[in-house]
Structure 1
Amino acid sequence: MWSSKHNLGRPVGTLSCRHVSVSIFPREREAGEKLAGSSSQLPKQNYEALLESCLRSQCLFEDDRFPATLSSIGCGPLLQKLPPRLQWKRPPELHSNPQFYSAGAKRLDLCQGYFHRDCWFLAALQALTLHQDILSRVVPLNQSFTEKYAGIFQFWFWQFGNWVPVVIDDRLPVNEAGQLVFVSSTYENLFWGALLEKAYAKLSGSYEDLQFGQVSEALVDFTGGVTVVINLEEAPRNLWDILTHATYNRTLIGCQTHIGERVLENGLVDGHAYTLTGIRKVTCKYGPKYLVKLWNPWGKVEWKGDWSDSSSTWELLCPKEKILLLRKDDDGEFWMTLQDFKAHFVLLVICKLTPGLLNQETGKRWTYTIREGRWVKGSTAGGRLKSSQGTFWKNPQFLLSVWKPESREGSLHPCNVLVSLLQKPRHRHRNWKPHLAIGFYLFRVGQILNDQRRLPPMFFWENTPLKQPVTFKMEKEVSQELWLDPGRYLIVPCTSKAHQELEFIIRVFSRKHIFYEIGSHSSVVFFMEIIDQNEGQDEFFTKLFEKYPEINAVQLQNILNHMTWSNLTSTKPFFSLDACQGILALLDLNASGTVSIQEFRDLWKWLMLCQEVFHKQDSHQLGYLNWNQLRAAVKEAGIVLSDDVCKLMLIRYGSPSLQIDFVNFVHLMLRAENMEDAFQNLTQDGKSIYLQKPEWLMMTLYS
């Protein structure tokens, strides 16, 4: 393993840096072991703790989870393409003035490596740079090689409903001349792209696992958006309108050429991914022309046909428009007509960042639901409808109710709904096991339905699906935009063949809906479909308490553990039964062992406040608060606690490492609020209270 001879970025003679191992706090270790059981997840690493440890020890971080060895490169054909004497070096060893990121750099500053085939990743990354705010979500831009430099960097990727941090050291593979083997920048001192690629390789298993992929996969991992793939051989007539709407809204767009591995005479590369960076309708002497602008991740090799940099067709434009559009730089970016684009490219991938981009509506609120599921052999892996009529009904079944929020009761105007089905990888290395072919069916169901039991085989024999897969796709994500009349529907996700095991998540976007799995113990939690806290609460409370007039601790646990915590981007919180019993005791004013609708309304408002305050103070989105953050959060929530009491509360409710997670934060805040109310009710002068023995016992046992 390569050993650094830099101490916080400064040469120190022959002093060799001591290896810093990865540490996991007790709660993180438990979570890490749980995740390790899933083949697709990385154990957590505490970036802040590792950084502080390195700074105290004056050592540069070395990541033993993704070491500077050939094992991180891979174990297949890629090894044969590497330079003979591969080395691993940190940016301060490669340049006298290394920079992590520069806002002043050109937009097209990334270059694909000579020994790697990750154009799909780089095309998606280039699309990401068109949106600075989204880029900064994936790439924290405040990292540097000077201030608090310890050889450790962190990036964020969206993984099946959660934003996941990935920690790496900054040792990068280079050849004998000190040139980066994989992604580099046209500016030799910029390294954010190379480090991001390393983090993505770690998430995927190795650099070799980035050899093959789809632009759509990387776009989802960078944004958490929903991708729509258009086959350009069957492109809709309004393709230009689709591109216009997508370009002028918050979308990322990529495309791919036909299968192959060669540079064509026209300058395009077969089997290659490109980024669509712009469109333009121009007026020529002979009428309008529709142009698209594309970028080659190689940073060179451009289209040579009409409207290329050297094409004579530019003379058809007025001088002003020609000057505005034409750039004769060999940077891999070029223009071509929409007609040529459809002829020479096979796929167009549009990643919608917000559900509001489904149509032209503006100022409209959208709701979002995510549900997890699993196909299990012999249980829930029923396969497709036609080939597995006897087992199709065993697939997971999800009930969807949609309606127009602004429409009167009984209105039958169509509702715009977007459904996305994502399959989780079956192996820690993303390319070791290919994706399965997946899809979903949509059925209309009546209003009378026992949502505690799955629909029997007879239902599927007697009812024809409204929507079904034309083909089952071996993609990470399949999605479809639907226009549905208000009503109730059944969504059945499945694999193309029965008995195939796989985990998945299914997401639904619409103006207003209810969505949950039939037959699951969590069906009570249909209210969490409404993520807009100010819209749909009345429907939620009414429907919930029509079914469950009083909620006990078990039902409360079910509700809280299936909530969509829209502001919590770290690990989803888990409320234990003990925690829910404690919460219930604080809310249960009449000692009935349950909470009423009014008591639950109060809890709901408090949970939303806790979520907002916790999210704001958890600036690094690690899922817990330290003492300073807790003190600030308590103060912002309007609760007055002295520093000493705040420290005691952290000891009482936090972990042994003096960190408090969201569940315990909720418990602490709720208890502090209730005790403050109790004091105000008992005091007469606002300064002191007098307690009789029963009151004193109740207060001490209560706290």
Structure 2
Amino acid sequence: MSVWPSIRGRWKQGWKESTGGSLQQPQEDYEALRDRCLKDHCLFEDSSFPATQSSIGSGPLLQKLPPHLQWRRPPELHSNPQFYSTKAKRMDLCQGVVGDCWFLAAVHALTLHQDILSRVVPLNQSFTENYAGIFQFWFWHFGKWVPVVIDDRLPVNEAGQLVFVSSTYKNLFWGALLEKAYAKLSGSYEDLQCGQVSEAFVDFTGGVTMTINLVEDPINLWGILNKTTYSRTLIGCQTRIGEERVQENGLVDGHAYTLTAIRKVTCKYGPEYLVKLRNPWGKVEWQGDWSDSSRKWELLSPKEKLLLLRKDNDGEFWMSLQDFKAHFVLLVICKLTPGLLSFEVGQKWMYTMQEGRWEKGSTAGGRMKSSWIGDAMWGNTFWKNPQFLLSIWKPEEGRQSPGTCSLLVSLLQKPRHRCRNWKSRLAIGFYVFRHYNDRRKLPAEFFWANAPLSWPEAFLKEKEVNRELWLEPGTYLIVPCASETALFVFLFLQEIVEQNEEQNEFFTKFFAKYPEINAIQLQKILNRMTWSSLGNRQPFFSFDACQGILALLDLNASGTVSIQEFRSLWKQLMLYQEVFHKQDSSRSGLLDWVQLQAAVMEAGIVLGDDVCQLMLLRYGGPRLQIDFVSFVLLMLRAVNMENVFQNLTKDGKGIYLQKPEVRLPPRSQLSLVR
């Protein structure tokens, strides 16, 4: 499995001036504050982010607020308030009057990865057990995971309706409280008024983002989406910049969306490439081809239409890749793994982080003064910039060796004020040089004689700039540039491939030979793979099991699945082996009833006790234990049935059929319920 490097240090801060002029957060001990409130029988009130106008801000946001704004706690707003519910659909949040669609788009992407969501939003918090009006969230803030503590007083109008983020389930409040915590981290609700999806992605994951300009019509966009959607990535996108208004086609100008899925479908005239998007408003959808009311859906098989189409004004919709490129300008991808390279297992990152400071007059040496790179015409102060040495080697050999290595370099500038929007960001960038001696600080003469291997095409006023490089083993010099005083963080991530070369060669040859895979070929692939998380108990996929898997994936009844569909399956299998391994504490290769229920829930499906028992009877052995292959079959069917239910239900609670509608499903749909 791909592994993301861990730098999960706890950071206790205080609202004080740091050495670089950046302001830090208050030192707040969540457990101590909660325990004190419980002891004193009182509810927490956050003095550092009070229930007053100062926490909302002093700008244009104030004009959007309703008259007689009040602050209320969730138990005052609902008779049965809940912090979070696994039974609710994942994307249940709707944007309020704050213009933070970029934040909500990132949150919706986060909900597609339960383990990452629970890292940001501790899901064991509630309004009943040990309730003291205090909640805690975690954000990745410039190299460290930062806890943010808030009280649960939320802005509401006179009718008791939330003014900012709300949930379609009126008794759920995790989204509103998450927004409040992020507003506190940013300075105020006003400071969420404008931003970029990439910024929130980084704050939620510590990942590294890449932005694709769709206006330039990138080559092989479908291939890029293919690789990102099956790996652990978060994906957002943005329409053309402008005043936030709804166009005739249902899209909103100057608006961020979440990309939630892609699908290659088979129409009567040939293949069609679709993307699925979600509007953070929770309503207002695309009205063109492949929208909820489009006649294009009649070109698909009944089974494919049943699984994909959901006629509900919930802000989520499908559109063709061609229309997507025509109406969206930016695609933002947050990498949580080596992703974008291949779907093989065994890839890791080697992670290095450095912090530094640009000081005007000393270490803020600025960029080069001339575009004449060949003769290194540099400004007189460029050499004064901070300099970082970086060694690249082949980790699997433990020494330098021929061949290039993948390196991801990310430069982040820290905010220069407590409120993120009060001071504009600097234009930043970095250069990469080959380094041949042991000197730590190189003089101006080095830059006169050596041209950079990589340099920024443009200096950007962004929170983060990054570049993926392919470098030979050796020592390199990284020089970050800015013109004024500021703090920054450098992240260096070198890809380590711990792969079985024979397995690599097998995949390359197999997929070149078979663009479509039948049950026999699927069996060959799955039994050839090394399931790293399962240790010595490698599973065996029978032909019957592979036929069952194929029936669930084969939406157009062709008897095969495409490579794209297999990649989607592979993403699910990687998740299933992780949760199976986590719950199989005895390493027996089997799960009992309690372990199965925990594994299914962690994989994103909620089964009641009686249903879980039935699943063990159906898929388990005589001792009511289930092995990994049977667990895979159970999960794939459960996910399919949940999708069918969500597409048919009108209210999220049940499926209601009139008498003329009660008939056997078409034969092509029978595999859904077998």
Identity of aligned residues (%): 74
Residue number in structure 2 paired with 1:48: 31
Task: Specify the code of the residue in structure 2 equivalent to 1:403.
Answer: W
Deviation larger for 49-58 or 38-47: 38-47
The answer as to whether partners of 2:14 and 2:25 remain within 8 angstroms in 1 is: no
CA distance in 1, matches of 2:70, 2:431: 51
Residue number in structure 2 paired with 1:504: 488
Q: Does 1:180 align with 2:169?
A: no
- 1:102-154: per-residue Cα shift (whole Å, max 9, x none)? 000012210100x2100000000000000011101111111101111111111
Residue number in structure 2 paired with 1:464: 451
Residue number in structure 2 paired with 1:227: 209
Task: Specify the code of the residue in structure 2 equivalent to 1:70.
Answer: Q
Residue number in structure 1 paired with 2:389: 399
C-alpha spacing 1:37/1:475, structure 2 compared with 1 (3 Å) = closer
C-alpha spacing 1:28/1:56, structure 2 compared with 1 (3 Å) = farther
CA distance in 1, matches of 2:400, 2:422: 51
C-alpha spacing 1:30/1:103, structure 2 compared with 1 (3 Å) = closer
Matches within 5 A, 1:139-538: 139-261=121-243, 262-355=245-338, 359-387=342-370, 389-407=379-397, 411-446=401-436, 448-451=437-440, 454-495=441-482, 498=483, 500-511=484-495
The answer as to whether partners of 2:388 and 2:477 remain within 8 angstroms in 1 is: yes
The answer as to whether partners of 1:40 and 1:424 remain within 8 angstroms in 2 is: no
C-alpha spacing 1:459/1:162, structure 2 compared with 1 (3 Å) = same
User: What is the SS of the residue equivalent to 1:365?
Assistant: strand
Q: Cα distance, 1:411 vs. partner?
A: 3.2
The answer as to whether partners of 2:22 and 2:487 remain within 8 angstroms in 1 is: no
Task: Specify the code of the residue in structure 2 equivalent to 1:156.
Answer: W
Q: Which has the higher contact order (CA 8 A, sep 6+)?
A: 2
The answer as to whether partners of 1:356 and 1:362 remain within 8 angstroms in 2 is: no
CA distance in 2, matches of 1:464, 1:36: 33
Q: Cα distance, 1:410 vs. partner?
A: 6.1
Q: Cα distance, 1:285 vs. partner?
A: 1.6
Q: Cα distance, 1:28 vs. partner?
A: 9.9
C-alpha spacing 1:366/1:83, structure 2 compared with 1 (3 Å) = same
Question: How many equivalent pairs are there?
Answer: 480
CA distance in 2, matches of 1:357, 1:65: 42
Q: Cα distance, 1:195 vs. partner?
A: 0.5
CA distance in 2, matches of 1:406, 1:233: 40
Q: Cα distance, 1:442 vs. partner?
A: 1.1
The answer as to whether partners of 1:266 and 1:305 remain within 8 angstroms in 2 is: yes
The answer as to whether partners of 1:301 and 1:332 remain within 8 angstroms in 2 is: yes
The structure number with the bigger radius of gyration is 1
The answer as to whether partners of 2:231 and 2:337 remain within 8 angstroms in 1 is: no
CA distance in 1, matches of 2:55, 2:379: 45
The answer as to whether partners of 1:403 and 1:512 remain within 8 angstroms in 2 is: no
CA distance in 2, matches of 1:37, 1:413: 40
The answer as to whether partners of 2:363 and 2:385 remain within 8 angstroms in 1 is: yes
Residue number in structure 2 paired with 1:692: none
Q: 2:109 aligns with which of 121, 127, 135?
A: 127
Residue number in structure 1 paired with 2:580: none
C-alpha spacing 1:385/1:360, structure 2 compared with 1 (3 Å) = farther
CA distance in 2, matches of 1:91, 1:376: 46
Matches within 5 A, 1:563-578: none
Residue number in structure 2 paired with 1:559: none
Residue number in structure 2 paired with 1:662: none
Q: Does 1:98 align with 2:81?
A: yes
Deviation larger for 170-179 or 462-471: 462-471
Q: Cα distance, 1:338 vs. partner?
A: 1.2
Q: Cα distance, 1:380 vs. partner?
A: 0.6
Q: Cα distance, 1:278 vs. partner?
A: 0.3
Residue number in structure 1 paired with 2:534: none
CA distance in 2, matches of 1:142, 1:210: 26
CA distance in 2, matches of 1:409, 1:424: 35
CA distance in 2, matches of 1:455, 1:360: 41
Q: Cα distance, 1:511 vs. partner?
A: 3.5
The answer as to whether partners of 1:402 and 1:512 remain within 8 angstroms in 2 is: no
Task: Specify the code of the residue in structure 2 equivalent to 1:183.
Answer: V
CA distance in 2, matches of 1:506, 1:430: 20
TM-score between both structures, scaled by the size of structure 1: 0.66
The answer as to whether partners of 2:231 and 2:343 remain within 8 angstroms in 1 is: no
C-alpha spacing 1:187/1:219, structure 2 compared with 1 (3 Å) = same
C-alpha spacing 1:416/1:235, structure 2 compared with 1 (3 Å) = farther
User: What is the SS of the residue equivalent to 1:366?
Assistant: strand
Q: Cα distance, 1:40 vs. partner?
A: 3.2
Q: Does 1:60 align with 2:54?
A: no
Deviation larger for 304-313 or 228-237: 228-237
User: What is the SS of the residue equivalent to 1:322?
Assistant: helix
Deviation larger for 354-363 or 380-389: 354-363
Give structure 1 stretches of 5+ with no counterpart.
1-26, 514-703
CA distance in 1, matches of 2:453, 2:19: 40
Q: Considering only aligned residues, what root-mean-square deviation do their CA atoms show, in Å?
A: 2.0
Residue number in structure 1 paired with 2:584: none
- 1:479-515: per-residue Cα shift (whole Å, max 9, x none)? 11111111221111112xx3x11100000011469xx
CA distance in 1, matches of 2:173, 2:342: 38
Task: Specify the code of the residue in structure 2 equivalent to 1:86.
Answer: L
User: What is the SS of the residue equivalent to 1:246?
Assistant: helix
Task: Specify the code of the residue in structure 1 equivalent to 2:351.
Answer: Y
Matches within 5 A, 1:670-689: none
The answer as to whether partners of 2:239 and 2:254 remain within 8 angstroms in 1 is: yes
CA distance in 2, matches of 1:101, 1:334: 25
User: What is the SS of the residue equivalent to 1:331?
Assistant: coil
C-alpha spacing 1:358/1:63, structure 2 compared with 1 (3 Å) = farther
CA distance in 1, matches of 2:12, 2:284: 48
C-alpha spacing 1:490/1:139, structure 2 compared with 1 (3 Å) = same
CA distance in 1, matches of 2:121, 2:84: 9
Residue number in structure 2 paired with 1:653: none
Q: 1:137 aligns with which of 119, 125, 143?
A: 119
CA distance in 2, matches of 1:402, 1:481: 14
Q: Cα distance, 1:449 vs. partner?
A: 2.9
Q: Cα distance, 1:455 vs. partner?
A: 1.4
CA distance in 2, matches of 1:178, 1:420: 44
Q: Cα distance, 1:354 vs. partner?
A: 2.9
The answer as to whether partners of 1:108 and 1:331 remain within 8 angstroms in 2 is: no
TM-score between both structures, scaled by the size of structure 2: 0.69
Task: Specify the code of the residue in structure 1 equivalent to 2:446.
Answer: F
User: What is the SS of the residue equivalent to 1:342?
Assistant: helix
